[in-house]
Amino acid sequence: MNCFYHPDRPAVGSCKHCQRGLCTECTALVEDVLACKDRHEGQARAELQLTARSLFQSQRMGAAYLRNAIFYGLVGVLFAGFGWMQLRFLGLQAVFFILIGAFLLYAAIANYLESRKHK
Ligand SMILES: [Zn+2]
Ligand SMILES: [Zn+2]
């Protein structure tokens, strides 16, 4: 591949924004990626920030889902455990507690699975 702006010179890399080949003279270093000097430095920087931000947001969403999973899991175990222990004394009412517990555990698993998508 040769430089897009100097077809007689070999390219040392390609622009992050437009993917064109760049020789040493046309290369601008933005953070740690290459961009067309005086042309796409701004665009490359903006694209880098966008990627970094969406990555950060995804990680935060994952953490939030994980927190929900832990919360639902704990409350679900409490409800189910309480219902299980009281089953002999409360009968149908205890079954109701166990059902709530099971539903919360299901929500915990769903949240946990969702959190793993945001790594
Ligand atoms: Zn470019
Ligand atoms: Zn060039």
Do 99 and 65 share a structural domain? yes
44 alpha carbon – ligand 1 mean position (Å): 8
Cα(43)–Cα(47) distance, rounded to whole angstroms?
6
Tens digit of pLDDT for each residue in 100-114?
Answer: 999 999 999 999 999
Looking at residue 72, the DSSP 8-state letter turns out to be H
**Cβ count near 84 (within 10 Å):** 14
3 state DSSP class of 54 = helix
Q: Is the pLDDT of residue 119 over 80?
A: no
Q: Does pTM surpass 0.95? A: no
Looking at residue 10, the DSSP 8-state letter turns out to be B
53 alpha carbon – ligand 1 mean position (Å): 22
Looking at residue 6, the DSSP 8-state letter turns out to be -
Q: What is the mean pLDDT of residues 43-71?
A: 92
Model pLDDT, residue 15: 96
Tokens for 39, please give them: 């042309």
Q: Is the pLDDT of residue 17 over 80?
A: yes
Residue 81 lies in a domain: yes
15 alpha carbon – ligand 2 mean position (Å): 11
Ligand nearest to the CA of 39: 1
Domain that holds residue 26: 1-39
99 alpha carbon – ligand 1 mean position (Å): 59
Residue 99 lies in a domain: yes
Residue 49 lies in a domain: no
